[in-house]
Amino acid sequence: MKDLEDWKGIWVFIEQEEGCVAEVSFELLNAAKQLSEKKGGAEVTALLPGHGVKGLSQDLLSYGADRVLCADHPFLEKYLTLPYTRVIGDLISERKPEIFLLPATSLGSDLAARVAIRVNTGLSAHCTHLAINPQGELLQVVPAFGGKVMATILCPKHRPQMASIRPGVYRRGEPREDEGVVEDVTVDLHPEDLKQKVLEVHWEKKAAQGIEEAEVVVAGGAGIGNGEDWKWVERLARVLHAAVGGTRPPLDEGWIGEGQMIGQSGKTIRPKLYIGVGISGVIQHVVGIQDAKVVVAINKDPRAAIFQSADLGAVADFRKLLPLLVEELEKAGPFSR
Ligand SMILES: Cc1cc2nc3c(=O)[nH]c(=O)nc-3n(C[C@H](O)[C@H](O)[C@H](O)COP(=O)(O)OP(=O)(O)OC[C@H]3O[C@@H](n4cnc5c(N)ncnc54)[C@H](O)[C@@H]3O)c2cc1C
């Protein structure tokens, strides 16, 4: 691709549902701001497709956007791959952003792949870190080969440089007073973009306490073995007023919901205390707990990798340890933090 220098600025796709901006969008605005500083103050643009959502712009300006591009159309009210891809693809071709960040949520992952193909560029999915090299290019860090290496990816010949980032990897910045620009853009949809239709929307019940906000998280792994014994993870969580999380096998078994899986393709958490029970500690999981203040691991195998990430470890069968621990904590009375 010629004329790479024509591509300027950093864009962030703003994910919103029913007029409520997803927290990860604020996190990505903060990431974009940090990248912008490394690039001598490149403009940060929040790309906001939807219907009747212009009122969200002020918040986006307060949390890092220099400009909001508001693409308003009734067909953009609920997310659909084809019209969103059309609008975003056209805007990218017209305005040429150098970097485009999207959340690695279900919606963002679906959209990012389509848009990358539409504008003929690459995409690094599920990044865990972003940086700028001395040449001003975006470095996109992704765990690869089952987590054995952290791959740093560059997109030297195509623009925009596109990356999707998991919720929780960055934090929302401090609000600021700066003035910015809110711009309405023309939405030009084609008949072939309107083949999909939303018939009904079902909202999934959220876990009682979101693991991303929880100060204490008790997580279980495949080592729990069966749904009956999972109650020990929940009992320990209850007595500690903790949120319950887990690895992929408990999700596959239906012991936890989608929003409770921790790791590369799940949530990134920052609790004061994380207790992992029956978890081996592969990189795809521990990448989600690296910001936990204190990590406690309970595993019957002394060679389990989780002990390398732990501040405190117990080599034990959870079936023996957890009943004793829960009993002692219950005896100790209400747990306060
Ligand atoms: C692209 C990709 C993305 C992925 N993303 C994620 C992700 O986001 N999150 C995630 O978690 N996984 C993810 N995975 C899956 C990941 O690779 C592992 O398969 C998974 O994390 C292993 O879960 P586990 O530690 O619970 O199970 P295992 O690896 O099977 O470990 C079970 C552990 O329990 C211990 N144990 C057994 N019995 C007991 C007992 N009675 N008492 C105490 N300890 C006991 C064992 O010693 C063992 O260490 C991903 C994989 C891929 C390929």
Tens-digit pLDDT profile for residues 66-75: 999 999 999 9
Where do the domains of the chain lie?
4-194, 216-331
Beta bridge partners of 238: none
| 216-331 shares the fold of 4-194 | yes
By the 8 A CB rule, do 12 and 65 touch? yes
Maximum Cα–Cα distance for the chain, whole Å? 70
- Measuring from atom 53 of ligand 1, which residue has the nearest CA? 146
Q: What is the 3-state secondary structure (H, E, C) of 35-67?
A: HHHHCCCCCEEEEEEECCCHHHHHHHHHCCCCE
Percent of the chain with pLDDT over 70: 95
Alpha-carbon distance of 49 to 76, in angstroms, equals 6
Distance of CA 142 to the CA centre of its chain: 13
Handedness of CA 253, 259, 261, 263 (dihedral sign): positive
Read off the pTM: 0.67
Which pLDDT score is estimated for 260? 94
Which pLDDT score is estimated for 337? 47
Atom of ligand 1 nearest to the CA of 221: 26
Ligand 1 is surrounded, with C-beta below 6 A, by: 146, 221-223, 247-249, 261-266, 278-280, 282, 284-285, 298-301, 304, 317-319
Kindly give, in sequence order, each residue whose CB lies less than 8 Å from that of residue 92, ignoring residues fewer than 6 positions away: 11, 100, 115, 119, 160
Q: Ligand 1 mean position to 130 CA, how many Å? A: 26
Atom of ligand 1 nearest to the CA of 263: 8
Tokens linked to 24: 């990860």
The CATH number of 4-194 is 3.40.50.620
Torsion of CA 45, 49, 53, 59, to 10 degrees: -20
- Please report the DSSP string for 272-327 in residue order: SEEEEES----HHHHTTTTT-SEEEEEES-TT-THHHH-SEEEES-HHHHHHHHHH
Q: Ligand 1 mean position to 24 CA, how many Å? A: 26
Q: Ligand 1 mean position to 113 CA, how many Å? A: 28
CA angle, residues 80, 86, 92, in degrees to nearest 5: 125
Mutation pick for ligand 1 pocket among 247, 289, 300 (CB with most ligand atoms within 8 Å): 247
- Measuring from atom 29 of ligand 1, which residue has the nearest CA? 280
Atom of ligand 1 nearest to the CA of 222: 26
Which pLDDT score is estimated for 208? 55
| DSSP designation for 262 | B
Beta bridge partners of 153: 140
Q: Ligand 1 mean position to 200 CA, how many Å? A: 35
Q: Ligand 1 mean position to 251 CA, how many Å? A: 11
- Measuring from atom 23 of ligand 1, which residue has the nearest CA? 247
Sheet with 294-299, strands from edge to edge, namely 243-246, 216-220, 273-277, 294-299, 312-315
Alpha-carbon distance of 118 to 86, in angstroms, equals 8
Mutation pick for ligand 1 pocket among 105, 252, 253, 282 (CB with most ligand atoms within 8 Å): 282
Which pLDDT score is estimated for 332? 77
Instruction: Chunk the chain into consecutive blocks of 10 residues (it has 337) and report each block's average pLDDT, rounded to whole numbers.
Output: 86 93 94 97 98 95 97 95 97 98 94 97 94 96 77 94 91 88 95 89 66 94 96 93 95 91 92 97 94 97 97 97 93 61
Tokens linked to 153: 């990816």
Alpha-carbon distance of 283 to 172, in angstroms, equals 25
CATH class of the 216-331 domain in this structure? alpha beta
Mutation pick for ligand 1 pocket among 264, 290, 321 (CB with most ligand atoms within 8 Å): 264
| DSSP designation for 267 | B
